[in-house]
Structure 1
């Protein structure tokens, strides 16, 4: 089965909902550099992560310079840190190495716009993925990107671009962007990602998950 992460959790009820639905990872947006609806303080995120049971991964989604990321990770102690902003290749290398020594894995998001270019110092997604695969990150997350919102866009990534990346690197790939219960079966069948990451596609309102959508998403994802 393709692994599933549900992101943007903000309260214990939604953590419990996702765990009961069978998700493999739960994501918390923490101290994100620009305003987004799901942003948590480190103390709030730590409290929620303490409620995540064994065998479900906790993921902190954030961005910024290495010192900030490492300090945040040391405070919250998640299983994984997802770098989802404008980190440079040098930043990613440093952060991944320092987190590795702490026993925390790092994932880097490649945010691709509708022209097929990355919001990264290496604009070509395949070249960027190859460069990132030389660092100590554990996986690459391929997400959509707009100038208005850096994540949670509800817009799908070009599947052709995702396939090109998957053919070019051996790192596990996580697919995000525009996923929902109605399209997840087709997308998993076509793209065959290691994991998928959903946020707005299972929401009732920003920051509040819809139980029916969460359960239907997991039901359909489990079919493949």
Structure 2
């Protein structure tokens, strides 16, 4: 359904049973095997060491790994060495302008950033899927400051993604809850989201 809607990537939430959208590694490996080459496959992992992340990658075979924790930069460097052919995306949660400090820390080791609205340091850590927008002003500053591509996530929907693209100017957008009903992908919401993205992109390119 997502591929037919024209998405550029599929994301696989492999964060464990605490998430209602968790998918098992064996299922991910089956899907990545048959995903069209033109569509990227993103593994969302909660692993924090290079060896553990690499093992997760090898068991699922995605094109990209999305690292949900702010891991030790030394581990990020090691991961780049042991999995050079897998694209690496570092998630940064925009809780304040301190998010900008992550740019020089991780830029040498990753291919892109993804800005989300979780609270990893809360008593009950949130690593995404909150349905909340982050501060788009800070996100826009992050995009302007980063030499790497930046994806935007957090509370996006067909109703607000056009404004998000115009204000933040991200490389791409990422969502989950905004196109679901009762936890399942909804065809009409997915189509509306894709249309909103295309319209916003066309407007920026023609400006």
TM-score by length of 1: 0.82
Alignment partner of 1:139 is 2:115? no
Report the counterpart of residue 7 of structure 1 in structure 2: none
Query: Residues 211 and 66 (structure 1 numbering): CA distance in 2 closer, same or farther, change over 3 Å?
Result: same
What secondary structure sits across from 2:30 in the alignment?
helix
Whole-angstrom CA distance in 2 between matches of 1:170 and 1:21:
30
Q: 2:90 aligns with which of 101, 105, 108?
A: 108
Alignment partner of 1:51 is 2:34? yes
- 8 Å CA contact retained: 1:60, 1:81: yes
Gaps of 5+ in 1: 1-16, 118-123
Query: Residues 86 and 128 (structure 1 numbering): CA distance in 2 closer, same or farther, change over 3 Å?
Result: closer
Whole-angstrom CA distance in 2 between matches of 1:164 and 1:130:
14
Please provide the CA RMSD for this pair.
1.5
TM-score by length of 2: 0.89
- 8 Å CA contact retained: 1:28, 1:40: yes
Q: 2:62 aligns with which of 78, 81, 106?
A: 78
Matches within 5 A, 1:1-224: 17-30=1-14, 32=15, 35-64=18-47, 65-100=49-84, 103-113=85-95, 116=96, 124-135=98-109, 137-146=110-119, 147=122, 148=124, 149-206=126-183, 208-223=184-199, 224=201
Whole-angstrom CA distance in 1 between matches of 2:181 and 2:87:
30
Whole-angstrom CA distance in 1 between matches of 2:78 and 2:46:
14
What secondary structure sits across from 1:217 in the alignment?
helix
What secondary structure sits across from 1:180 in the alignment?
coil
Whole-angstrom CA distance in 2 between matches of 1:186 and 1:221:
10
Offset at residue 51 of structure 1 (A) = 2.7
- 8 Å CA contact retained: 1:174, 1:197: yes
- 8 Å CA contact retained: 2:70, 2:91: no
Whole-angstrom CA distance in 2 between matches of 1:187 and 1:34:
31
